Every structure is written in structure tokens, then in C-alpha cells.
Structure 1
Amino acid sequence: MKARKSVRVYDPTFSIPKEEIEEMIQMATSAPSSSNLQPWRFLVIQDPEVKKELRAIANNQEQVETSSAVIAVLGDHEMYQKVEQIYNQNFAEGHMNEAITEQMINSTRRVYPQISTEARKNIASFDAGLISMQFMLLAKEKGYDTVTMGGFDKEKFAERFELPEGTFPIVLIALGKAAAPAYGSSRLPVNDIVRFI
């Protein structure tokens, strides 16, 4: 945690194999998730020409183009549609019995469609934050650097990458090898942000 910094200057000649990025994402999926519905989706952008296009959508941020890859973290506000797949897998792996599996599937199918789209987007965004942080810590552990970017045109992004119905962009993570040290940053004192009762 202390070693990870937001790096904005990357070595453009450095590349990370697709298999290693897949492995990091797989490991990061151990993050907590509301009702275990795992509403996170990912678009990994490595093609130099596509990254150049993305840079224009992302307020001309240099790291979009010079990093090894940009991980677009997306949310699926129709996440409850995968409830049977998820809970049947939980049952198959021995995490819960058949009765609880059925109960969870039925409860999710009853409750989630009644929740507003905005509220489901908030759930997906929160879960995306959890998995994004895990991914960045894993990347640092493997010797890579990252920075999250919320400053991009989400409408243009969704249009350019033809995101499926129900899927929306949340954050971009540049991933690569630092070519210059990151700036340090201060944090508010604990007494300013915590209240014990």
C-alpha cells in the first residue's frame, strides 16, 4: 500500500503479456461484491492505435497512450441476470447448500429488478472501486505501476467501444512500468476524518 503511487509517466516500450493481465484481473475478483453479483466488467486496451483514439476521449492524458495497457473498469447494472450462474457455481464448489442457493437466487430475482437503475449503477460503481484497488495493489506487488483516471468522456467511450446494453464505463486504469517517479501526496490527519463514539 505504501509503495503504490499514481504514476503518470510510463515507458512506452515496455509491454505486459495478456496472460499476466488476465491473471491479475482473476486474482482481483476476490474483492467483496454486493450479493456476490460481481457487476464488474473489463475492457483491456493494448493496441497502440486504439490507445491513441482513447487518449482523445480521455482529455489527452499522456499515460493513456504510453502505458502498456489501459484497463477500462465497467459496471453492469443488470448484474442480477447472472444470479443463477453465480449461485449454482457457489453450490457446485460447496460454498452453500441447495436450499440456500435457491433462496439466494429467488431473493435476488425478486429484489434487484425493483431497485432503480441509478441505485444499481451505484452498487456496480462501489464494487468496481473495490476490485480496482485490489487490481492496483496486485500490479504493484508484481512490479508494475498504475494510475486511475475518472476524467474521460464516458458517453464517447461507450459509443466508441460499443458497450452492451446495461454496461457503463466507471474508471480507466493505466498499467505499465514507470519512466519517472510519481509525486508523493499528503493525507488529512486521522483526527480530521475519524470520529469514535
Structure 2
Amino acid sequence: MDTQLAIQSRRAVKQFDPQHRLSEQEVESLISLAMLSPTAFNIQHWRFVIVRDPALRQQIRQAAWNQAQVTDASLLVILCADLKAWQRQPERYWRNAPQAAQDFLLPAIHDYYHGKPQVERDEAMRSCGMAAQTLMLSAKAMGYDSCPMDGFDFAEVGKLIRLPADHVISMFVAIGKALQSAQPRGGQLAQQEVVITDRFDSL
């Protein structure tokens, strides 16, 4: 599917065919594409928790206010991030770069993140957001629909998936075969309301 068409036709779908399953090849393709999403300093700190256990899916559904897409979608991905990925052998992220680039980037990674928990979290959310959009557009290009979700008890889901203390959950992405089309768009704002040239007007 053309990229522009995928963007235009991607919608949040709530009703999925619970009998449909993605093939392992399709799942592999989706995750491989999501892993091409950008991250600051290429630290690739997203972690994709693919929930396969039906019983766990039911528990997560209860923590998500009983939203049916949690159990009915073919694929449920919980996008998490390792907040300390920048500390974990950062030379891995630039092993194919020239030595001069490595000599510059590795200290820069340390200086950018060290002692800055808000920066760690901000970058995690940005990175997971971009990965989520890549997942959803890739799914649409493959003929599937998706639903990004933050309507759940983050702490409870963290317990259910045994989230490490130095990781955070960003969102869910449910992917599958839609049973019905999404509702018409609720109302798009005009460009002149959301596009600012150069700077905001002073108050």
C-alpha cells in the first residue's frame, strides 16, 4: 500500500475478529519494521512485549477496563522502554560507525542521559510513540487494522508482565482483522489552527 494511503486510511479500530491470527512471518515482519524506527543516539530502547498467553490477555483486559480489543485482536503489543539502555554496552549501538564517530558519540550518550531521569523518560516516550506509529502504518500496509491504547492501569499491567523497575510502559498497540470499519473522523482541526509560522504570538 502507498505510504500516503496508509496514513490516510489508518484509524483506531475497536472491534477485531477474535478467530483471526497473524502468521509468525507477519509478526516478524511487523516487529522488524518497527525496529527501524528512530531513537535518540540509536540506543533502541524500545522493548516489544508480545502477549500470547490467553489467560494473561484476559488479566490485562481486566486492567484495561474490559476493552475487548485486548483479547480479540490478533496481536497485542505492549510498548515498553528500557530507561537505562544508554548505560548497557552503548558501544553496541555504534559498532559499525567509524572510530572517530564512536569516540564522539559514546561520551555524548553519557553526558546526555547521566543524572537526568526526566530526559530518560521523555526520550522513551518519544521513541515508543514513533515505533507505535511504524507498527500501525506497517499493519495497515499489510491489510490489517490497529488500535493504540493508553486506557489501562499502568501499574497493574506492569505487575502482570513483570516489568523491570528501570523500564516504563508507553502504550499498547492492538493489531488484527477489523470486524467493522472505524467511525467517521470526529472532526479535524483546520491547518491554520495547528500550524504556527516561526513563533507563537506573545501574550
Consecutive unaligned residues in structure 2, runs of 5 or more:
1-6, 199-203
Please report how far the alpha carbon of residue 52 of structure 1 lies from its aligned counterpart in structure 2 after TM superposition. Answer: 0.9
CA distance in 1, matches of 2:43, 2:191: 33
Matched residue type, 2:128: A
Please report how far the alpha carbon of residue 114 of structure 1 lies from its aligned counterpart in structure 2 after TM superposition. Answer: 2.5
* Contact kept in structure 2, 1:41 and 1:76, CA below 8 Å: yes
2:197 corresponds in structure 1 to 196
Q: In the alignment, which of 13, 16, 40 is matched to residue 46 of structure 2?
A: 40
Q: In the alignment, which of 86, 94, 99 is matched to residue 87 of structure 1?
A: 94
CA distance in 2, matches of 1:40, 1:141: 22
Please report how far the alpha carbon of residue 19 of structure 1 lies from its aligned counterpart in structure 2 after TM superposition. Answer: 3.3
Matches within 5 A, 1:112-131: 112-115=113-116, 117-131=117-131
CA distance in 2, matches of 1:195, 1:85: 39
Residues 130-169 of structure 1: CA deviation (Å, up to 9, x unaligned): 1110110000000111000101111111111111231111
Residues 21-57 of structure 1: CA deviation (Å, up to 9, x unaligned): 1221111222221111122111001222221111001
* Contact kept in structure 2, 1:5 and 1:184, CA below 8 Å: no
Q: Which moves more between the two structures, 45-54 or 122-131?
A: 45-54
The residue matched to 1:175 in structure 2 has which SS?
A: strand
1:70 corresponds in structure 2 to 76
The runs of at least 4 aligned residues of structure 1 exceeding 3 Å deviation read none
Matched residue type, 1:123: E
Aligned residue pair count: 190
CA distance in 1, matches of 2:55, 2:44: 31
Consecutive unaligned residues in structure 1, runs of 5 or more:
none
CA distance in 1, matches of 2:85, 2:121: 10
Q: TM-score normalized by structure 2?
A: 0.89
Q: TM-score normalized by structure 1?
A: 0.91
Alignment RMSD: 1.3
Matches within 5 A, 1:108-187: 108-115=109-116, 117-185=117-185, 186-187=187-188
How high is the sequence identity, in percent, across the aligned residues?
26
Residues 99-128 of structure 1: CA deviation (Å, up to 9, x unaligned): 21122112213432222x222111100111
